[in-house]
Amino acid sequence: MQNDVVYLDHAATTPLDERVLEAMLPHLGGAPDGRPRGNPSSLHSAGAAAREAVEEARASVARLVGANEPGEILFTAGGTESDNLAVLGLAASDPSRKHVVISAVEHPAVREAAGHLEATGYEVTRIGVDAGGLVSPARFAGTLRPDTALAAVMWANNEVGTVQPIEEIAELCREAGVPLHVDAVQAAGRLPIDVSRVPVSTLALSAHKLHGPQGVGALYVRGGVELEPVLFGGGQERGLRSGTENVAGIVGLGAASRLAFEELEERTRHEEALREALISGATGLPGVRLNGHREKRLSNNIHVSVEGVEAESLVLFLDALGYAVGSGSACASRGTPAGHKASPVLLAMGRTQEEAISSVRITVGKDTTRAGIDGFLEAFAAAVSQLRELSPLYTS
Ligand code: PLP
**Residue 3 pLDDT class (50, 70, 90 cuts):** low
How much of the chain exceeds pLDDT 90, in percent?
A: 91
Rounded to whole angstroms, the Cα distance separating 90 from 113 reads: 12
Dihedral sign computed on CA atoms, order 4, 8, 9, 13 = positive
Residues 6 or more apart whose Cβ sits within 8 Å of residue 54: 40, 75, 245, 247, 250, 251
User: Model pTM?
Assistant: 0.96
**Residue 30 pLDDT class (50, 70, 90 cuts):** low
Residue closest by Cα to atom 13 of ligand 1:
79
Asked if pLDDT for residue 33 goes beyond 90, the answer is no
> Can you give the pLDDT at residue 31?
72
Distance 203 CA to ligand 1 centre (A): 12
| Dihedrals phi, psi of 139, to nearest 5 degrees | -65, -40
Distance 206 CA to ligand 1 centre (A): 7
Answer whether 276's CB lies under 8 Å from 290's CB: no
Q: At what angle do helices 370-390 and 247-283 cross, to 10 degrees?
A: 60
In the chain, where are the structural domains located?
A: 6-14+264-390, 18-262
User: What would the mean pLDDT of 27-34 be, rounded to a whole number?
Assistant: 79
230 ligand 1 Cβ < 6 A: no
Asked if pLDDT for residue 1 goes beyond 80, the answer is no
> Can you give the pLDDT at residue 323?
98
CA geometry: angle 154, 177, 165, nearest 5 deg: 30
Answer whether 381's CB lies under 8 Å from 285's CB: yes
CATH tag, 18-262 = 3.40.640.10
CATH tag, 6-14+264-390 = 3.90.1150.10
User: CA 346 from chain center: how many Å?
Assistant: 17
Atom of ligand 1 nearest to the CA of 217: 15
Residue closest by Cα to atom 12 of ligand 1:
79
Rounded to whole angstroms, the Cα distance separating 18 from 22 reads: 6
The CB density around residue 185, as the number of other CB atoms within 10 Å, is 28
> Can you give the pLDDT at residue 338?
43
Atom of ligand 1 nearest to the CA of 80: 16
Distance 84 CA to ligand 1 centre (A): 11
Answer whether 144's CB lies under 8 Å from 123's CB: no
Dihedral sign computed on CA atoms, order 157, 163, 167, 169 = negative
154 ligand 1 Cβ < 6 A: yes
Rounded to whole angstroms, the Cα distance separating 301 from 369 reads: 15
**Residue 393 pLDDT class (50, 70, 90 cuts):** low
How much of the chain exceeds pLDDT 70, in percent?
A: 95
Rounded to whole angstroms, the Cα distance separating 369 from 12 reads: 19
Roughly how many angstroms between the first and final C-alpha of the chain, as a whole number? 35
> 343-376: buried (b, 16+ CB within 10 Å) or exposed (e) per residue?
bbbbbbbebeeebbbbbbbbbbbbebeeebbeeb
Rounded to whole angstroms, the Cα distance separating 153 from 157 reads: 10
161 ligand 1 Cβ < 6 A: no
Distance 207 CA to ligand 1 centre (A): 10
109 ligand 1 Cβ < 6 A: yes
Q: What is the pLDDT of residues 297-323, one digit of tens each?
A: 999 999 999 999 999 999 999 999 999
Distance 185 CA to ligand 1 centre (A): 6
| From 25-39, 51-65, 373-387, the region with the lowest mean pLDDT | 25-39
User: What would the mean pLDDT of 216-233 be, rounded to a whole number?
Assistant: 97
DSSP string, 160-173: T-BBP-HHHHHHHH
Strand order across the 217-221 sheet: 73-76, 217-221, 202-206, 180-183, 148-152, 99-103, 123-127
Rounded to whole angstroms, the Cα distance separating 113 from 202 reads: 15
Residues 6 or more apart whose Cβ sits within 8 Å of residue 222: 72, 195, 199, 200, 201, 202
218 ligand 1 Cβ < 6 A: no
Answer whether 119's CB lies under 8 Å from 145's CB: no
Answer whether 109's CB lies under 8 Å from 133's CB: no
Residues 6 or more apart whose Cβ sits within 8 Å of residue 320: none
User: What would the mean pLDDT of 170-194 be, rounded to a whole number?
Assistant: 98
If we measure between CA atoms, which residue out of 201, 260, 239, 157 comes closest to residue 67?
A: 201
Q: What is the pLDDT of residues 65-100, one digit of tens each?
A: 999 999 999 999 999 999 999 999 999 999 999 999
Q: At what angle do helices 247-283 and 45-65 cross, to 10 degrees?
A: 30
> Can you give the pLDDT at residue 179?
98
Catalytically annotated residues: 331
Rounded to whole angstroms, the Cα distance separating 227 from 209 reads: 25
Length in residues, the chain: 396
